[in-house]
Structure 1
Amino acid sequence: METASTVGDLAPALGSEALRQRLEGRRPAVFLDYDGVLTPIVPRPEDAVWSDSMRRTVISLAERCSVCIVTGRDRQVVQQLMGVDSLTVAGSHGFDIWSPGQGQVVHEALTDFTDLIAETTATLRERLRGLEGVTIEAKHASVAVHYRQATPETRTRVDEVIDDLRDRNRDRLTLVPGKMVYEFTPAIDWNKGKAVLHLIDVLGLTSDDIVPLYLGDDITDESAFRALRGKGIGILVGRPDDPEMAGRTTAAEFVLGSVDDVERFLSNLAR
């Protein structure tokens, strides 16, 4: 049964006896968002490079168990930022999945969205041209509009453009809001949660001795938390006093307060 908690009600994952007991005698399969989990949120997306210590921690963990990156970012961009090609990466909210053992991992529900995304990207570039603090990020199967550095007046203009584009394309595009970002994806029933369940299947992670864990910070990670309810463990990364977490409910069961806490948690798992 689905349940939801406020961020402040979640039990800390670090030092949790309840979490330790659920993992005892079983192998974790770890799914990680990138921005806000493995690296802090930064004003410019291209500057989100993980630390050397986080890189070592994740690689060490991957030697013990399955580790997959599940991100809203373009897959190839994240792989370049990480400088690692030995991890499975699901980019564009799971629309673009690559595994070192299998190459492209394609689900039958996913088709070629090149023309649709190119058209949407061109429209956004034209209508948002010249707006300070606004960045458009074209991806394999989606396009994102970042507005973290924009003024309130500019954000109002961005909202108007986004709302109009959504209303004109309800049968073709889905609007996915995130932390200071809007993203358009193809209008099919697919998200990070479905991508995680697909990866669990194709990577052979379905045995009873495996516990899937998902660590994420964004609203888009909620689909993964919900997908793992009763099957695995969802861990939200964030602080209840963060304005972006205010009033938010989550399907996660545990919480980690920062990227540093994530590194400590993953380091403990790798032992």
Structure 2
Amino acid sequence: MRSMRDVPLALAQWEALSRRMEGRQVAIFLDYDGTLSPIVPNPDEARLSDAMRATLLELARRYPVAIVSGRDLPVLKGFVRLEGVSYAGSHGFDIEGPDGRGFQLEEGKALLPELDAAERELSVGLAGIPGSRLERKRFSVAVHWRHVEEARGPEVERVVDAVLARHPRLRKGGGKKVFECQPDIDWHKGRAVEWVLNALGLAREGVLPVYAGDDLTDEDAFQTLKGRGLSLVVRGEVERPTEADFALKDVEEVRRFLELLIARAGGTSR
């Protein structure tokens, strides 16, 4: 693992990357927030730009594409609004393939009542902390604290930890100014990538999975694909260690990278 600043920039290494793709079928996996859409103060306003949506449309005509996000599946689909791609919401607990067929982890479904109880307790515990916001997803409860006074951030985390101490079958995940209460199951974005590859018949020699993401939760996918795929970290506001092979500076560089993939495929379709 190395610091983000030590990871080579993908656009500067495009020729080498392109050579690694020669003779292989490329499958694209993309995080949403901070990767396809910039991080914004209000998560409900994290919309795709027209340019990014047009790029994704062209990309999906040439490659298998999956959007892998911590967002709830219906919310994710509502933001992206593209057919013919796979969606993995709730960090992969809720997946829908390009044909509309879905998958929900049974062990996760069994813990829905536990999540309901944690949501109620979090609502009470956070009531006195201005700026905190709960977001209930089907398979997790997100505690957003981007608008909480910086000095009260640890207080938010203490509330989350106290609730999870009463629900040992749940675990704490993290992201940018958010804590996630999730089923404590060995399932994450990396597992979701493997599931999609298997479901699409792409878990075989000759396939090169390419994954781009910006958050800590994407590191699970980077580790899963190490040695058999390409991982790209989108640099954000926080410098941290990463397992990524290459880096992209921001959302606009992500779009430029995807445009290069489109140009590489030329007029061919998948």
**Could you say which TM-score interval applies, normalised by the shorter chain?**
over 0.9
SS in 1 for 2:63: coil
2: CA distance, partners of 1:107 / 1:165: 23
**Count of residues paired in the alignment:** 262
SS in 2 for 1:177: strand
2: CA distance, partners of 1:200 / 1:113: 26
SS in 2 for 1:40: coil
1:105 alignment partner, one of 103, 106, 112: 103
2:260 alignment partner, one of 250, 263, 268: 268
1:123 alignment partner, one of 99, 121, 124: 121
Superposed counterparts of 1:222-233, under 5 Å:
222-233=219-230
1:194 alignment partner, one of 187, 191, 195: 191
Query: 2:268 matched to which residue of 1?
Result: none
2: CA distance, partners of 1:174 / 1:266: 34
1:127 Cα offset (Å):
1.2
Q: TM-score, normalised by structure 1?
A: 0.92
1:268 Cα offset (Å):
0.9
1:86 Cα offset (Å):
3.2
SS in 2 for 1:231: coil
1:119 Cα offset (Å):
1.3
Query: 1:249 matched to which residue of 2?
Result: 241
Query: 2:266 matched to which residue of 1?
Result: none
Query: 2:267 matched to which residue of 1?
Result: none
2: CA distance, partners of 1:109 / 1:147: 28
Mean alpha-carbon deviation: is it higher for 101-110 or for 226-235?
101-110
Name the amino acid aligned to 1:264: R
1:108 Cα offset (Å):
5.7
Mean alpha-carbon deviation: is it higher for 253-262 or for 124-133?
124-133
SS in 1 for 2:147: coil
Percent identical pairs in the alignment equals 41
Contact 1:132 1:154 in 2 (8 A): no
1: CA distance, partners of 2:110 / 2:161: 25
Q: TM-score, normalised by structure 2?
A: 0.92
Contact 2:108 2:183 in 1 (8 A): no
2: CA distance, partners of 1:168 / 1:154: 22
1:37 alignment partner, one of 28, 35, 38: 35
Alignment of 1:220 onto 2:212: no
How big is each residue's C-alpha offset from its partner over 1:28-82, in whole Å with a ceiling of 9 and x where there is no partner?
1000000000000001110000101100101110110100000011011111122
Mean alpha-carbon deviation: is it higher for 36-45 or for 11-20?
11-20
Alignment of 1:10 onto 2:2: no
Name the amino acid aligned to 2:194: L
Query: 1:70 matched to which residue of 2?
Result: 68
Structure 1's unaligned 5+ residue stretches are none
Name the amino acid aligned to 1:65: Y
1: CA distance, partners of 2:178 / 2:207: 34
